[in-house]
């Protein structure tokens, strides 16, 4: 039981962390709540399904293509729909929800409401420190951790990362310094969509793929960024892992816990908003930094 909670908690927590970082990144830079973020994760998983199962592509090229396509899609959607209304938060939320539902309906038309599985990229099990885990679960955990390290290095060690952090800190000063704020927002949206696709690639061979799979992670991502502090990368990661383990514990330890897992994220979000609205690593909403 403890082994199952540990392994599944790491898989879920890693996936939620990658999603939460992408969500927090867009909020910190573009100051928008992109409610379609987890829809990118869903579409990325379906692209892998289409290319690897239906078209017969090898697994690795399927993943790379899916991630690249979602990166381009995120940038296009930002330019076509969100950039024009980014000064109106409610409009951004409504439009992004509409985009997510559009993706959902297209997938429902194309694939129906059926649950579909993708074969593990590597079959078999491995034992680490007395804990037995499937190779695919280990790959999922390692991939999530590598994605988190990569985004941290991107933000701290590259010119684009410095520009992203500058815009998140103060877009007026960044503009005065010659940074193209609009371009940085588009790039950030592309990075966010890439992270969502990476999360989709992580879970596609582990869990089932279906056209409503974006809804539950959206709840957890919102709860994670609220728990960690809106716009805080490290807070979002910590919040995601806390919720991932909490959700796994509920599933394994509480009778009919699978039906209650959605309540975990919502409950945490409500409690944090009531007791500490700025989250674990936030100060006040207007001053959140990457």
Cα separation of 206 and 178, whole Å? 45
Phi-psi sector, 207: left (phi>0), alpha (psi -120 to 50), beta: beta
Q: Taking Cα atoms as reference points, which of 91, 96, 124, 150 lies closest to residue 205? A: 124
Q: How confident is the model at residue 268 (pLDDT cuts 50, 70, 90)?
A: confident
pLDDT tens digits, 2-51: 888 899 899 999 999 999 999 999 999 999 999 999 999 999 999 999 99
Cα-based distances in Å from 104 to 193, 206, 209: 16, 21, 12
Q: How confident is the model at residue 290 (pLDDT cuts 50, 70, 90)?
A: low
Coil, helix or strand at residue 127: strand
Q: Is the pLDDT of residue 98 over 50?
A: yes
Across 210-239, average pLDDT:
90
For residue 288, what pLDDT is reported?
Answer: 45
CA atoms within 13 A on the CB side of 225: 27
For residue 285, what pLDDT is reported?
Answer: 44
Tokens of 181: 């704020």
Coil, helix or strand at residue 214: coil
Instruction: Tell me how far the alpha carbon of residue 88 is from its chain's centroid.
Output: 23
For residue 282, what pLDDT is reported?
Answer: 63
Neighbours of 20 (CB within 10 A): 32
Across 127-139, average pLDDT:
84
Across 59-74, average pLDDT:
95
Position with higher pLDDT, 253 vs 212: 212
Percent of the chain scoring above 90 in pLDDT: 61
Coil, helix or strand at residue 117: coil
Burial profile 240-273: b = 16 or more Cβ within 10 angstroms, e = fewer: bbbbbbbbbbbbeeeeebeeebeebbeebbeebe
Q: How confident is the model at residue 281 (pLDDT cuts 50, 70, 90)?
A: confident
The pTM assigned to this predicted structure is: 0.92
Contacts of 36 (CB under 8 A, 6+ apart): 77, 96, 97, 99, 100, 103
Coil, helix or strand at residue 93: helix
Cα separation of 96 and 244, whole Å? 25
Across 102-131, average pLDDT:
88
Across 195-217, average pLDDT:
92
Residues shown for the chain: 290
Q: How confident is the model at residue 140 (pLDDT cuts 50, 70, 90)?
A: very high
Position with higher pLDDT, 120 vs 283: 120
Asked if residues 205 and 137 have their Cβ atoms less than 8 Å apart, the reply is no
């Amino acid at each position: 039981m403890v082994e199952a909670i540990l392994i599944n908690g790491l898989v879920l927590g890693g996936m939620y962390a990658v999603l939460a970082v992408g969500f927090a990144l867009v909020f910190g830079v573009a100051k928008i709540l992109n409610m379609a973020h987890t829809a990118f994760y869903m579409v990325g998983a379906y692209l892998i399904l289409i290319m690897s199962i239906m078209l017969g592509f090898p697994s690795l090229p399927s993943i790379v293509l899916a991630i690249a396509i979602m990166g381009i899609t995120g940038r296009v959607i930002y330019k076509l729909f969100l950039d024009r209304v980014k000064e109106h938060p409610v409009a951004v939320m409504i439009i992004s929800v509409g985009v997510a539902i559009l993706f959902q309906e297209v997938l429902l038309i194309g694939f129906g409401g059926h649950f579909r599985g993708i074969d593990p990229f590597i079959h078999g099990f491995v034992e680490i420190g007395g804990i037995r885990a499937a190779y695919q679960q280990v790959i999922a955990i390692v991939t999530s951790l590598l994605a988190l390290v990569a985004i941290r290095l991107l933000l701290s060690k590259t010119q684009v990362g410095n520009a992203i952090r500058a815009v998140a800190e103060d877009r007026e000063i960044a503009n005065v310094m010659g940074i193209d704020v609009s371009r940085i927002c588009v790039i950030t949206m592309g990075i966010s969509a890439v992270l969502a696709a990476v999360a989709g690639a992580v879970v596609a061979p582990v869990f089932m793929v279906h056209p409503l799979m974006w809804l539950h992670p959206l709840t957890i991502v919102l709860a994670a960024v609220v728990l960690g502090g809106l716009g805080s990368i490290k807070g979002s990661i910590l919040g995601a892992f806390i919720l991932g383990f909490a959700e796994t514990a509920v599933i394994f330890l509480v009778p009919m816990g699978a039906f209650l897992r959605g309540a975990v994220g919502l409950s945490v979000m409500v409690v944090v908003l009531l007791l500490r609205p700025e989250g674990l690593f936030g100060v006040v909403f207007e001053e959140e930094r990457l």
